[in-house]
Amino acid sequence: MATATARDEMPRWMAKGLEELWAYLKKSEEERLKWEEKWRRREEEWRKREEELRRKEEEEWRRREEERRKKEEEQRRKEEEEWRRREEERRRKREEEQKLKQREWEERFQRLENLFTTQWGKLVEALVEPGSVDLFRKRGIKIRQSARRVEIEDDNGRVIAEYDILLDNDDEVVVIEVKTTVTKEDVDYLLEKLSRFKERSPKYRDYTVYGAIAGITYNEGVDRYAYKRGLFVLKSEGGVINIANDEEFKPKSW
């Protein structure tokens, strides 16, 4: 009430000036607030732009780092693969060289073994053949001729069987297999040869065929095994070949 009275008491020009000043101040405040709002929006935009730019820069950096890492890994993988490939080639080469050397040594050893076996076999056969003729004559088989290393060929000239020693007469033949050391497998092999002897040697189709195994030594029990299978068992005693079968022995005939 007092203010209104004071205003009423002010000169009109002064009241009008105060109103204009108040309006100006109010407008200025509004403009300031608008400007601050506008400034805040711009700052927010700048901040977002900076964040977006930083995000993009970080993404670009990560992308390049990832590409660099992948390239390094790919390069390392290729280098490792190349290293493994070369190592594999070197390993295969070493293995091939070792196999080649091993084959060479095996072939050399086999040649030496074959040479020794052949020469030793000939020696044993030479020891067995002369005495065996008289031994079988004493057993009632009247041997008339003997032969060593007899080969049987088919119609095409291919060797289909070989016999160490053959003793025969007009109606009987003794097939002797000679070994340094006689094994069970040697006995079975001779039995198989005897089962096909007439088939492979038609000349003896009407003969009575006997089998004999001869050796310097026998694996344990093999001589008895051959005896039970109906074979003559020839053994070396003091450098002399004898028939080990007793007088009750009845040979198997094929």
pLDDT tens digit at each of 254 positions of the chain: 445 555 556 678 777 877 888 888 888 888 888 888 888 888 898 888 889 989 999 999 999 999 999 999 999 999 999 999 999 999 999 998 888 888 877 776 666 554 445 544 555 666 677 788 999 999 999 999 999 888 888 888 888 889 999 999 999 999 999 998 899 999 999 999 999 999 999 889 999 999 999 998 999 999 999 999 999 999 987 778 899 999 899 999 99
Domains in the chain, please, with CATH?
A: 127-243 (3.40.1350.10)
Cβ-contact 198, 205 below 8 angstroms: yes
Q: How many residues does the chain have?
A: 254
Q: Can you tell me the distance from the alpha carbon of 51 to that of 88, in angstroms, rounded to the nearest whole number?
A: 53
Q: Can you tell me the distance from the alpha carbon of 141 to that of 135, in angstroms, rounded to the nearest whole number?
A: 9
Q: Beta strand pairing status for 208-218 and 145-153?
A: unpaired
List residues bridging with 237 in a β-sheet: 240
* Continuous H helices in the chain: 2-9, 12-138, 184-195, 197-200, 222-228
The residue with tokens 């040594």 is: 105
Within 10 Å of residue 232's Cβ, how many Cβ atoms?
A: 24
Task: Say what the pTM is.
Answer: 0.54
